[in-house]
Amino acid sequence: MIFAFATLAEAAMTLPKNLDNADQSRALEILGFGSASKILNNPYPLGGYMGIELGVSTEFIPLDDLQDLGSGTEDKGEFNYYTLTLGKGLFYNIDTYLYFTPSVQGENFQNFGAQLRWGFYEFNFFPLTLSAILYGGGANYSNLINISTFGTDILATVNMDNVAIYAGFGSIRAVGKFIGGANGITDDQETTEQDLVETHTVFGVSIGISKMFIAMEIDRYTDTVYSGKLGVRF
């Protein structure tokens, strides 16, 4: 199912122009937070056996509010794109992940970043683990909006045989540069920068099938973003 979504993903969208400061902040909430790193992992540490994880994820950013900003656009519904991920265990309970959009998806959108996960506590009499996650990334929309995101989350995971349910919260920061000039998207043709910090909550489920797993996740910022992932571990 995830591969089917990936096949249908389109990295094409029309950005609104004539954005004032308020419009830019709202666009950063939608496109910046929406394209930030997602957890979407099997909760068992890769570091437990120095393993490697490969995966493909599909993510959906809601665009309904974007079409009403500035001079507006005809885009509505969701912006769907996919990323490739590579995970590597470092130590027993520390993993690192890299992700990026493949070039075949087009040149109008690029997304990339990294994530570090540390499982710092495991309960002895209940299948509950606590993890800390540090992540950072960048996104480029048509060379008109350049975004950097940074965040931290605390995650609680309950493991039940081949099914794991996780939930957590944290803080995320997005810094966006909006390009001005005659072909830019700002209302005064000046290149400007917006900087936002917001709380973040996440809920997800991961289902293991032999060495493969399927993860589905809901991330709540100002808007709600849905994503899914199909992965395999070696």
Q: Which residue has the higher pLDDT, 156 or 12?
A: 156
Each residue's pLDDT tens digit, 145-166 = 999 999 999 999 999 888 999 9
Query: What is the chain's mean pLDDT, rounded?
Result: 90
Measured CA to CA, the distance from residue 141 to residue 210 in angstroms comes to 38
Measured CA to CA, the distance from residue 134 to residue 114 in angstroms comes to 9
Q: What are the boundaries of each domain within the chain? A: 2-233
pLDDT band at 25 (very low <50, low <70, confident <90, very high): very high
* Lookup: tokens for 59: 């993510």
pLDDT > 60? residue 109: yes
Mean per-residue pLDDT for 119-127?
Answer: 90
The answer to whether 79 touches 67, Cβ cutoff 8 Å, is no
Residue 20 makes CB contacts below 8 A (sequence gap 6+) with: 70, 186, 187
Q: Which CATH architecture has domain 2-233?
A: Beta Barrel (2.40)
pLDDT of res. 49: 56
Taking the CA of residue 158 as centre, how many other CA atoms within 13 Å lie in the half-sphere pointing to its CB? 6
pLDDT of res. 27: 97
Mean per-residue pLDDT for 178-187?
Answer: 95
pLDDT of res. 38: 96
User: Which range (81-85, 91-95, 178-182, 224-228) has the least confidence?
Assistant: 91-95
Percent of the chain residues topping a pLDDT of 90:
74
pLDDT of res. 4: 41
